[in-house]
Amino acid sequence: MDEKLKQRIANHPCYSEDAHHHYARMHVAVAPACNIQCNYCNRKYDCANESRPGVVSELLTPEEAAHKVLVVASKIPQMTVLGIAGPGDPLANPEKTFRTFELIADKAPDIKLCLSTNGLMLPEYVDRIKQLNIDHVTITINMIDPEIGEKIYPWVHYNRKRYRGIEGVKILHEKQMEGLQALKEADILCKVNSVMIPGVNDHHLSEVNKVIREKGAFLHNIMPLISAPEHGTHFGLTGQRGPTPKELKEVQDNCAGNMKMMRHCRQCRADAVGLLGEDRSQEFTKDKFLTITPEYDI
Ligand code: CLF
Ligand code: SF4
């Protein structure tokens, strides 16, 4: 890896395995809406593309979010990255998401900005992402074959219309590929998350890996499906299981010869705060951070 690239990931705990021991990230939950349906998601909870399902995050306005970032930065100096990852899809809430990034770029310019999306609206926003100097974008790509996608996504909402079944999946797939390409052209680092769903896309993920590698993704994070009936997701209710640790490792190992794999993901909350694997979100709930330090009021 060249020096410049090393610098770009040096203090990002998700993009650099070394960094995750020393640097913290935080998420702000400003993006409630979503434009697709994943069978592993129940909208009452955080976006399971990047987050632990079954967790409800406290929604913030962009101003509250910026306030929170300043408070957390003052208490946790190792906090280097601010991510927006839900609880829905950040790019299905573009005003809220970009307003938050703008405020933070203005008030705390040293903090790296990070974004996670299902990719449907990505081609439309790559220029804006570049302008705001957001150098890390995650796309969740679970398939490159719409027939497999049909088992994962019942519908996609695009341009004010709902597309069911394979028609919707084809749009999603196209936009994900376009988005990935556009990130590459804009020289923005891209991580791809794939949720491993046994019997659905487990054997397909090596093909996903091949395509995203060819298109220039920097890192691949294969995450296990977490499916519990009490979360009320389609997969949870139909008894779809997640992979065993051994099955997950086998798929990751299979792809590892080809590109850099992320293996230290902790499937965070949409309002996570702290080192990966450490959950300090309860120290910074709205009632706490808004009253403790009113001087950060935006
Ligand atoms: Fe957040 Fe995601 Fe950015 Fe990291 S998390 S938006 S890339 S700053 Fe990291 Fe958490 Fe795994 Fe995500 S451990 S769920 S990969
Ligand atoms: Fe849920 Fe995220 Fe999928 Fe939207 S993209 S349906 S919030 S898991």
What is the whole-number distance in angstroms between the Cα of residue 90 and the centre of ligand 1? 13
The residue assigned the tokens 């929170």 is 68
Give 236's pLDDT tier (boundaries 50, 70, 90). confident
Whether the predicted pLDDT of 294 surpasses 70: no
Q: Are strands 24-27 and 273-274 parallel, antiparallel or unpaired?
A: antiparallel
What is the whole-number distance in angstroms between the Cα of residue 232 and the centre of ligand 2? 14
Whether the predicted pLDDT of 228 surpasses 90: no
Tens-place pLDDT, residues 5-41: 888 999 899 999 988 889 999 999 999 999 999 999 9
Closest C-alpha residue for ligand 1 atom 10:
268
For a ligand 1 pocket test, name from 138, 252, 264 the mutation site with the most ligand atoms within 8 angstroms of its C-beta: 138
For a ligand 1 pocket test, name from 51, 112, 268 the mutation site with the most ligand atoms within 8 angstroms of its C-beta: 268
In the prediction, which pLDDT does 295 show? 59
Q: Which ligand is nearest to the CA of 11?
A: 1
Q: Pick the more confident residue, 271 or 141.
A: 141
In the prediction, which pLDDT does 296 show? 66
Please give the C-alpha separations between residue 278 and each of 20, 101, 124, 159, 258, in angstroms, as whole numbers: 11, 24, 34, 39, 30
In ligand 2, which atom is closest to the CA atom of 92?
4
What is the whole-number distance in angstroms between the Cα of residue 89 and the centre of ligand 2? 6
Whether the predicted pLDDT of 232 surpasses 70: yes
Q: Pick the more confident residue, 120 or 57.
A: 120
User: Is the CB–ligand 2 distance for residue 41 below 6 Å?
Assistant: yes
In ligand 2, which atom is closest to the CA atom of 53?
8
Please give the structure tokens belonging to residue 275: 């080192």
Cβ count within 10 A of residue 103 = 18
What is the whole-number distance in angstroms between the Cα of residue 258 and the centre of ligand 2? 28
Give 293's pLDDT tier (boundaries 50, 70, 90). low
Which of 241-246's residues contact partners 24+ apart within 8 Å by CB, and which partners? 241/198, 242/196, 242/197, 242/198, 243/196, 243/198, 243/202
Rounded mean pLDDT, 107-113: 95
Please give the C-alpha separations between residue 122 and each of 80, 130, 199, 215, in angstroms, as whole numbers: 24, 12, 29, 15
In ligand 1, which atom is closest to the CA atom of 25?
8
Give 291's pLDDT tier (boundaries 50, 70, 90). confident
In ligand 1, which atom is closest to the CA atom of 81?
8
CA 228 to chain centre: 21
Please give the structure tokens belonging to residue 96: 């809220």
Tens-place pLDDT, residues 238-258: 999 999 999 999 999 999 887
Ligand 1, CB within 6 Å, residue ranges = 14, 25, 27, 50, 81, 83, 85, 114, 116, 136, 138, 191, 221, 265-268, 276
Tens-place pLDDT, residues 47-93: 888 877 778 889 999 999 999 999 999 999 999 999 999 899 999 99
Per-chain mean pLDDT for the chain = 93
Give 216's pLDDT tier (boundaries 50, 70, 90). very high
Rounded mean pLDDT, 148-158: 97
In the prediction, which pLDDT does 121 show? 98
In angstroms, the CA 55 to CA 202 distance is 25
User: Is the CB–ligand 2 distance for residue 120 below 6 Å?
Assistant: no
What is the whole-number distance in angstroms between the Cα of residue 2 and the centre of ligand 1? 23
In the prediction, which pLDDT does 269 show? 85
* Interface pTM, i.e. ipTM: 0.94
What is the whole-number distance in angstroms between the Cα of residue 169 and the centre of ligand 1? 25
What is the whole-number distance in angstroms between the Cα of residue 161 and the centre of ligand 1? 30
In angstroms, the CA 173 to CA 145 distance is 8
